[in-house]
Amino acid sequence: MLRTGLLAAVMLALMPSAPSFAVSQKDKMATCKFGADDKKLAGAARDTFIKKCMSNQNDPRGSSSAEAPAPKN
Protein backbone atom coordinates (compact mmCIF):
# COMPACT_ATOMS: atom_id res chain seq x y z
CA MET A 1 0.00 0.00 0.00
CA LEU A 2 2.81 2.41 0.89
CA ARG A 3 4.65 1.54 -2.31
CA THR A 4 1.57 2.38 -4.40
CA GLY A 5 1.21 5.75 -2.68
CA LEU A 6 4.87 6.53 -3.20
CA LEU A 7 4.65 5.57 -6.86
CA ALA A 8 1.60 7.81 -7.32
CA ALA A 9 3.42 10.72 -5.66
CA VAL A 10 6.44 10.28 -7.94
CA MET A 11 4.20 10.15 -11.02
CA LEU A 12 2.48 13.38 -9.99
CA ALA A 13 5.82 15.06 -9.36
CA LEU A 14 7.03 14.18 -12.86
CA MET A 15 3.81 15.12 -14.64
CA PRO A 16 4.34 18.90 -14.97
CA SER A 17 7.64 18.43 -16.78
CA ALA A 18 6.05 16.25 -19.44
CA PRO A 19 4.13 17.64 -22.41
CA SER A 20 0.38 17.64 -22.11
CA PHE A 21 -1.16 14.54 -23.71
CA ALA A 22 -4.75 15.13 -22.61
CA VAL A 23 -7.63 13.65 -24.59
CA SER A 24 -10.00 16.63 -24.52
CA GLN A 25 -9.51 20.40 -24.33
CA LYS A 26 -11.05 20.36 -20.83
CA ASP A 27 -8.54 17.73 -19.66
CA LYS A 28 -5.69 19.59 -21.34
CA MET A 29 -6.66 22.87 -19.64
CA ALA A 30 -6.74 21.12 -16.26
CA THR A 31 -3.25 19.72 -16.92
CA CYS A 32 -1.92 23.13 -17.95
CA LYS A 33 -3.44 24.83 -14.90
CA PHE A 34 -1.90 22.16 -12.68
CA GLY A 35 1.50 22.89 -14.24
CA ALA A 36 1.06 26.64 -13.72
CA ASP A 37 0.02 26.08 -10.10
CA ASP A 38 2.99 23.78 -9.54
CA LYS A 39 5.37 26.46 -10.83
CA LYS A 40 3.52 29.08 -8.73
CA LEU A 41 2.95 31.30 -11.77
CA ALA A 42 0.64 34.32 -11.65
CA GLY A 43 -0.48 37.12 -13.95
CA ALA A 44 1.06 37.43 -17.40
CA ALA A 45 3.58 34.63 -16.78
CA ARG A 46 0.72 32.22 -15.94
CA ASP A 47 -1.28 33.28 -19.02
CA THR A 48 1.77 32.81 -21.26
CA PHE A 49 2.52 29.39 -19.75
CA ILE A 50 -1.08 28.19 -20.19
CA LYS A 51 -1.23 29.51 -23.78
CA LYS A 52 2.00 27.67 -24.69
CA CYS A 53 0.87 24.57 -22.83
CA MET A 54 -2.46 24.49 -24.68
CA SER A 55 -0.61 24.74 -28.01
CA ASN A 56 2.01 22.13 -26.97
CA GLN A 57 4.85 24.66 -27.28
CA ASN A 58 6.15 24.22 -23.73
CA ASP A 59 8.29 21.16 -24.47
CA PRO A 60 11.41 21.59 -22.30
CA ARG A 61 13.45 19.62 -24.82
CA GLY A 62 13.18 22.50 -27.29
CA SER A 63 12.20 22.52 -30.91
CA SER A 64 12.51 19.24 -32.78
CA SER A 65 13.22 21.10 -36.04
CA ALA A 66 16.39 22.72 -34.69
CA GLU A 67 19.59 21.07 -35.82
CA ALA A 68 22.27 20.10 -33.34
CA PRO A 69 25.44 22.18 -33.57
CA ALA A 70 28.34 20.57 -35.36
CA PRO A 71 30.93 19.02 -33.02
CA LYS A 72 34.18 20.94 -32.64
CA ASN A 73 37.35 19.08 -33.51
Residue 66 inside a domain? The answer is no
pLDDT in tens, the chain (73 residues): 667 776 677 766 666 555 555 568 888 899 899 999 999 999 999 999 999 888 876 555 555 555 555 566 6
38 falls within a domain: yes
Buried b (16+ CB within 10 A) or exposed e, 1-39: eeeeeeeeeeeeeeebeeebeeeeeeebeebbeebbeee
Residue 71 lies in a domain: no
**Stated pTM of the model:** 0.48
Residue 12 placed within a domain: yes
* Residue 62 belongs to some domain of the structure: no
Q: In which domain, by residue range, is 23 found?
A: 2-54
